[in-house]
Structure 1
Amino acid sequence: MGSRAVVVPDQQPRGRGGKQKNGQAEGRNRRVLRDIGNLVPVPTVEEKPQNQISRPKPLAEVVNGGGAVKAAAAAHKKHFDPPKPETVIVISSDEELESEEKKKPVAVIARKSRVGSSRTMTSILTARSKALCGPTTKPKDPIADIDAADADNELAVVEYVEDIYKFYKLTEGESRVHDYMDSQPEINSKMRSILIDWLTEVHRKFELMPETLYLTINIVDRYLSMNAVPRRELQLVGISSMLIACKYEEIWAPEVSDFIVISDNAYVREQILIMEKAILGKLEWYLTVPTPYVFLVRFIKASVPSNDHREEMENMVFFLAELGLMHYPTIILYCPSMIAASAVYAARCTLNSNPLWTETLKHHTGYSEDQLGDCAKMLARFHSDGGGVEKSKLKAVYKKFSSPDRGSVALFPPARSLLLVL
């Protein structure tokens, strides 16, 4: 903070009578003291206290009422006041670049002018062109609202369906089985495929719900992964698993006697009930699991939001999915949601849907087209290997989806685009 200057009046010569000269002469001979940055004490006389001398007004101020002096003072203040800093507004990145380069050494500026100047100016011009012309990239396809048509359907639970499927995705790993054939001394993957093929035929004869077949396969695999089963009891595990699934899914479940008849009296009632109890004990009664079926229903809806061609797509998707579940490597290598999404992708490739994968499918499945490639190729190979019924002994799935009520989708040629890259 600047020091306050005290102006001390000059000692004027006195006249004969000890009186000062008139105010005009005093105003003409006085000097204006500047701010010297320090306090100057006023000399005093011990005998008499010196009266403070006030500066008289100039004659011009007295005569003209102070108007001229005020104008002169204003002009003087305008002349000597320090200029106020101006606000600098940067309107272009060129000025900012120029000001930054002024602060740097000459060598740095020269090097930048040789190396980065053209790149900087190019990027600036490109940015300005994009701002004027608008975005050049093609916008992504909008995500369709697949639940809009079911807004008034209370059974569709539109308010909770997204949270339900998020929960399915989080918990599908808990009921997924891993490679267990090494722990089965009398059973191999071929025997398992024969069992699933027979259970598919039984499921069709009893006209059961689709959910029952998928839950039956899940129960069979989970029990075989926990307990070693003799070869002679493998079919018993199959019919007991289907009995449990029917009690869980069906309104009118088949009776134990029906399974005895369908198995050609290979087992008695007590054997089926004992195996049923053993399976439930091993699984700890954990039956509410996300099978591929729950994902298939949702992903088919995302694939065909409207009812146009939905039946054909639905039959093809279920055909490929059941082909995959019948083969042991599919359920070992891939989780239920990926099997379902790959079945949808392979079905779209088989039916030549355009595009093969959409943003809506990517959003609801959680998988990109590249992630589904391997599993979809496997399903297409299963379709190709069974193109002729004589090529495969496992005919239940092909018979089921060769019938007119299933759209005869098993007779369609397999996806060529997936087979060419094998």
Structure 2
Amino acid sequence: MASKAVVQEQPRGNNLGGKQKNVQGRNRRALGDIGNLVSAPAVEGKPQTQISRPITRSFCAQLLANAQAAAEKNSKKPLAQIVNGVVGKEGVPIAATQKKEFVKPKKEAVIVISPDEDEKSQRTARKSSKKTGKTLTGTLTARSKAACGITKKPKDPIANIDAEDVDNELAAVEYVEDIYEFYKVAEDDARVGDYMDSQPEINSKMREILVDWLVEVHKKFELMPESLYLTINIVDRFLSTRTVRRRELQLVGISSMLIACKYEEIWAPEVNDFIAISDNAYIREQVLLMEKAILGKLEWYLTVPTPYVFLVRYIKASFKADEQMESMAFFFAELGLMHYSTIIQYCPSKLAAAAVYAARCTLNKTPIWNETLNHHTGYSEDQLMECAKFLVQIHSGAAENKLKAVMRKYSNPDKAAVALFPPARNLLLPA
């Protein structure tokens, strides 16, 4: 067995910066437990080698710097790969030895949500998270309502009653709604209060006789319907402002019709025609003086909404209204004009709407009232029921009444003989 070489141990303090002495066996590797031998960092795929170099201060600083650089490279390796886009073998960037330019990441836009929007989004999220399916309670409630017959029915659509008159300039489709809104506001100005108490010599029965006679005169002269309604309006307004003697009541009637004809007719009857129709009860000067007195009391205010203007609109709103329906509505309206209580209690628009309602009931129209009529008249069935029942009651007793001018007028085939129809049973008052 060969003898081991003896190496003299040198003090560690003398090795820093000094030269080593010639020692026997220098060509042999140093032992691994000697403190001044440092192992080099291992590289992937290569065996670890040792550096047989004395640790000096400069060498120690170089090793520390190399170790820090390697650690920094390992920590920034993903960033280097992303920035450079090229990675060498075994995950080491090609330009690792070169100085890399630091790329500052872009700042992301920050969206600030206001408290209101945040709260709104939270409410929306809560609502969407709820179940959309029907609950058992809701299903049972719907079935109970259906069984009791209280299921809410959808409203009927409102028909456009002016669609056919778009090209008719006289229909004034662009302004017709505004016109009738104005009529509704202005109709109270032309209404009269209860004036019979201020008339010592005349009463409501005498007024009925006068109106019945004026209907006959209107038919005899073949005047426009507007003239009759305006005549009765002028008579009532004048009687509410001035006391009239009994023998002058007919004079008031023919003078009022003369004014109405001049206002409404193209070819108005002359004064002599009215004198002749009254069997020469008055002379020309009396008619002209009464005409002047009436216009003075009314302050020439003749453009008033009578029941006629509302009737025309409401009959048009009665979908698919025919000649029979139109004649029946005018029949009920003229029955109402004869009675003093009707004129006092109900405004012109309500009287016209009730006449249309009573006519539909008499002719068995279905439905009796719909959303279109409710929209254009502004009245519901409950609001018209009282006036409609009163008109039907007059109709039921018209055959026995001595004043038959309206009855005869609408018994004619030219008016579809609507006066001969039986009264509406559902509106007749119990006996």
* TM-score under structure 1 length normalisation: 0.70
Provide the C-alpha distance between the structure 1 equivalents of 2:353 and 2:305, rounded to a whole number of angstroms: 14
1:243 aligned to 2:258? yes
Match of 1:192 in 2: 207
- 1:323 partner amino acid: L
- 2:165 partner amino acid: D
Match of 2:107 in 1: none
Secondary structure in 2 matching 1:372: helix
Match of 2:173 in 1: 158
Q: Find the partner of 1:317 among 311, 329, 332.
A: 329
User: What are the Cα deviations for residues 305-326 of structure 1, in whole angstroms up to 9, with x where unaligned?
Assistant: 46xxx10001111100000010
Provide the C-alpha distance between the structure 1 equivalents of 2:337 and 2:307, rounded to a whole number of angstroms: 9
Q: Which runs of 4+ in 1 moved over 3 A?
A: 21-26, 56-61, 64-70, 87-97, 120-127
Match of 2:195 in 1: 180
Match of 1:326 in 2: 338
Q: CA RMSD in A?
A: 3.4
User: What are the Cα deviations for residues 57-79 of structure 1, in whole angstroms up to 9, with x where unaligned?
Assistant: 68675xx5754999xxxxxxxxx
Secondary structure in 1 matching 2:410: helix
CA contact (8 A) 2:407 2:419 kept: yes
Shift in alpha-carbon separation, 1:57–1:243, aligned structure 2, 3 A: same
Which residues of 2 match residues 340-359 of structure 1 at below 5 A?
340-359=352-371
User: Shift of residue 404 of structure 1?
Assistant: 1.4
Match of 2:33 in 1: none
CA contact (8 A) 1:60 1:69 kept: no
Match of 1:171 in 2: 186
Match of 2:395 in 1: 383
* Identity across the alignment (%): 68
Which residues of 2 match residues 14-413 of structure 1 at below 5 A?
64=74, 66-67=76-77, 122=137, 137-305=152-320, 310-386=322-398, 388=399, 391-413=400-422
CA contact (8 A) 2:216 2:405 kept: yes
Provide the C-alpha distance between the structure 1 equivalents of 2:181 and 2:127, rounded to a whole number of angstroms: 47
Provide the C-alpha distance between the structure 1 equivalents of 2:78 and 2:319, rounded to a whole number of angstroms: 92
Number of corresponding residues: 329
Shift in alpha-carbon separation, 1:124–1:221, aligned structure 2, 3 A: same
User: Shift of residue 293 of structure 1?
Assistant: 0.4
Shift in alpha-carbon separation, 1:277–1:92, aligned structure 2, 3 A: same
CA contact (8 A) 1:24 1:58 kept: no
CA contact (8 A) 1:24 1:59 kept: no
- 2:340 partner amino acid: Y
Shift in alpha-carbon separation, 1:230–1:60, aligned structure 2, 3 A: closer
Shift in alpha-carbon separation, 1:69–1:412, aligned structure 2, 3 A: closer
CA contact (8 A) 2:393 2:429 kept: no
CA contact (8 A) 2:201 2:246 kept: yes
- 2:365 partner amino acid: S
User: What are the Cα deviations for residues 228-258 of structure 1, in whole angstroms up to 9, with x where unaligned?
Assistant: 1111111111111001001111111111111
- 2:345 partner amino acid: L
Provide the C-alpha distance between the structure 2 equivalents of 1:207 and 1:68, rounded to a whole number of angstroms: 107
User: Shift of residue 304 of structure 1?
Assistant: 3.5
- 2:161 partner amino acid: I
Match of 1:33 in 2: none
User: What are the Cα deviations for residues 312-368 of structure 1, in whole angstroms up to 9, with x where unaligned?
Assistant: 001111100000010001111111011100000000000000000011111111111
Secondary structure in 1 matching 2:241: coil
User: Shift of residue 25 of structure 1?
Assistant: 8.8
- Which has more radius of gyration? 2
- 1:407 partner amino acid: A
Shift in alpha-carbon separation, 1:59–1:23, aligned structure 2, 3 A: farther
CA contact (8 A) 2:261 2:268 kept: yes
CA contact (8 A) 2:159 2:372 kept: yes
* TM-score under structure 2 length normalisation: 0.68
CA contact (8 A) 1:199 1:238 kept: yes
- 1:153 partner amino acid: N
- 1:208 partner amino acid: L
Match of 1:414 in 2: 423
Unmatched segments (≥5 aa) in structure 1? 1-17, 29-55, 71-86, 98-119, 128-135
CA contact (8 A) 1:200 1:396 kept: yes
